[in-house]
Amino acid sequence: MSEEKRLHPITTVMNALKTLKEAFIPIVILVFLNRGEAESILDYLPFFIMGAMIILFLFLGVIKWWRFKYWLEEGELRIEQGLFVKKKRYIPFERIQSLNYTEGILHRPLKLVKIKVETAGSSASQESEAELTAITKEEADELNRIISAAKKKLKEGNTEEFDGDTSIVEEQPEERVLYKMSAKDLIVMATTSGGAGVVLGGVLIFLSQFGEFIPYEAVFEELVDIVETGFLLAGVAAVFVFLIAWLIAVGMTFLRYADFTVKLVDKDIVITRGLLEKKQTTVPLKRIQGIRFDQNIAREPFGYTSVTIESAGGSVLEKDSNAIRLLPMIREKEAFPILNEIMPDYQWKTAFTGVPKRSLKRYIFWKMLFSLVIIGPVSYFFFPLGLISLVLIPLAAGLGWLQYKTAGWSASHDQLTLKYRGFSKQIVYMKKKRIQSLAWTQTIFQRRGDVATIHSTIKSFASGSHSSIAHVAQDDAELLMEWYSPEAEVKKVHDPVRLDPEVEGH
Amino acid sequence: MGRQEPKMRISERALTVWKLYGWISAAFTLLAGAAVTVLAILFDWSVWFIIGAVAALILEIILFVFVLPTLKWKRWRYEVREEEIELQHGIFIITRTLVPMVRVQHVDTEQGPILRKYNLATISISTAATIHQIPALDINEADELRDSISALARVAEDDV
């Protein structure tokens, strides 16, 4: 595999499509700028330009494909590209963290994959990343095997130079499926994700945009009729719109998360998902910095939660990779056994220390004050209808009370667990050795009540992920600092709670 | 009750520098205030504009030259121990931070022109995810601290 290789020729089309996508808005503007009657040949100019552009893009795609070469040499993945400016990128195998696969619609009939080379994250990682747009699955697997074999060899302290020899046959690593998402969970996820609301908003925006085409007066008159004939029809119509929004949301969720599978391959977690476009993400276990449970208010009563991984390194280019969803939608008690298999050293259930009673008024007071800032002007300007906004007061108080009830921390001998709530409930599990720094802050108001806010930061991708709990008793904040301090005596504050046997044996 | 405050204070010359910063920003306020005053006289605005400009200037000088730098300096504490660094700062919001030595990735010192004139430097301590600064240390102290931190800091590669 050390000879120079090109990507699959279909790359030309993909390159062209990608450029076309980027140029989509200018093209649309070009077409719509010129909507008058076609009188002279000049009126067709936009279409000529468009045609020329598409041909140009295709041509550029071909050149890009032609100039892109990759090969393996001296323990490095080497990539060379560019027409006028030749760019060479050499990535040593040991810097490669994982190869992530994506199969788009164009890839699948040809049995191709797109490969994203993920390197250990550093601030300059944008430079060290690479993408192979389309190579065959066999090639991809071979690449994966060679790289992991080379890495393994390097780890064993073998100083012999590795030249990317294919003759090394690796035994297939052990592969274990840990979790498959059921269709039911997918539907629950779509329903509670707020996606339906977004779609509904989209429909409303669409309706308002095309307002001029809709004869509102006629509709209004009809509406009056409807109201006169009864609310039933209006209700049916509303339900119908909601149903469609919900169906679209479910459909979109299916596109992204169908066949969601989590596998444990050797020392990596491999996540695959997607209906039309298949994605495969690999997370090396030792890069995991922390685990986050996120339970939004719609999911909480049903015991559903979403589990994400905070991982060091990985792609800074890909926006949606900001947190890796390990278990997007699962019942909390079903999550623990799976997580136990992946990361047995974490304690998933621990005793928590809450915040003191005197903090309750702090949780409620600020939210009430803020809600008054909204209620005041709204009630004044939209009197009397604006008075409805008064419901914000109990809502704010309720939220404050929930936040107070949720807040808690737990420090066992090697793990810090924080529990807190913005709107949705979060539980963050962090190993002590993964915490980059711990701090507490105290405002002058908090000083009076002898409470403080604790902050903990772990590494997440190129930057940090920050969790904090407000209004913890000051003594507790200091106790936590003692616990974190390498020089202090306090080694643990809480003992882990064993999982219920029935859950463990699940 | 709990942990001791960190022991070390930052250089007393920091106070001079912060006061200087205060004077510099007051100079800009003075310019803006002068402009308002001139406009107010030219266009016959209410006298309150002039009073407001003068009041803003006086308030700024009191706060940013006399009150806040002293409070800030009094609060600022740090301590570098063998296995950890502890910082405390903040006027209205007090922040106390603990950074274990094994998490420190690198240490930098830096100096702007004003800091250089007063032989001061700011030290930045970077972990994989956070950056912590100690402002306005004596340059010799900062260099010493930088060297000793980087000698003590041995990041366990595996834990990043």
Q: What are the domain boundaries of chain B? A: 9-73, 78-159
Cβ A459–B98 below 8 Å, yes or no?
Answer: no
Q: Where is pLDDT greater, at A494 or A446?
A: A446
Domain boundaries, chain A: 11-172, 183-257, 284-355+407-504, 358-402
Predicted pLDDT of residue A125:
45
Mean pLDDT of A248-254: 86
The distance of B153 to chain A (nearest Cα, Å) reads 13
pLDDT at A316 over 50: no
Contacts of A486 in chain B (CB under 8 A): 83-84, 100-102
pLDDT at A110 over 80: yes
The residue to which tokens 């276990």 are assigned:
A285
Predicted pLDDT of residue A155:
67
Predicted pLDDT of residue A290:
92
Mean pLDDT of B51-71: 93
A441 interfacial to chain B (CB closer than 8 Å): yes
Question: Which of B97, B134, B154 to mutate against chain A (most A CBs within 10 Å)?
Answer: B97
Among the listed ranges A209-218, A337-346, A381-390, A496-505, which one has the minimum average pLDDT value?
A496-505
Backbone angles phi, psi at A165, to 5 degrees: -70, 135
The distance of B32 to chain A (nearest Cα, Å) reads 32
CATH of domain B78-159: 2.30.29.30
Cβ neighbours of residue A459 closer than 8 Å, sequence gap 6 or more: A289, A310, A312, A434, A436, A465, B127, B128, B129, B160
CA B135 to chain centre: 5
Mean pLDDT of A194-213: 62
Q: Helices marked H in A176-259 — which ranges?
A: 183-192, 195-209, 216-229, 231-257
Long-range contacts of A111-114 (CB under 8 A, 24+ apart): A111/A136, A111/A137, A112/A8, A112/A10, A112/A136, A112/A137, A113/A137, A113/A140
Of A425, A464, A470, the closest CA to residue A452 belongs to: A470
Mean pLDDT of B7-36: 93
Of A398, A434, A415, A407, the closest CA to residue A483 belongs to: A415
Of A93, A117, A113, the closest CA to residue A102 belongs to: A113
Predicted pLDDT of residue A81:
86
Mean pLDDT of A94-101: 82
Of A110, A139, A125, A100, the closest CA to residue A14 belongs to: A110
The residue to which tokens 């039933």 are assigned:
A232
Among the listed ranges A24-33, A310-319, B120-129, which one has the minimum average pLDDT value?
A310-319
pLDDT at A250 over 80: yes
**What's the ipTM?**
0.85
Of B14, B22, B27, B47, the closest CA to residue B141 belongs to: B14
The distance of A145 to chain B (nearest Cα, Å) reads 23
- Contact between A158 and A114 (Cβ < 8 Å): no
Summarised one tens digit per residue, pLDDT across range B89-105 is: 999 999 999 999 988 88
Please report which confidence band the pLDDT of residue A456 belongs to, taking 50, 70 and 90 as the band edges.
very high
Summarised one tens digit per residue, pLDDT across range A120-176 is: 654 444 544 788 889 998 888 888 888 888 877 776 654 444 444 444 444 556 788
- Supply A134's token pair: 């389309």
Q: Helices marked H in B5-61 — which ranges?
A: 13-42, 48-61
H or E element that contains A335: helix A332-342
Chain mean pLDDT for chain A: 80
B127 interfacial to chain A (CB closer than 8 Å): yes
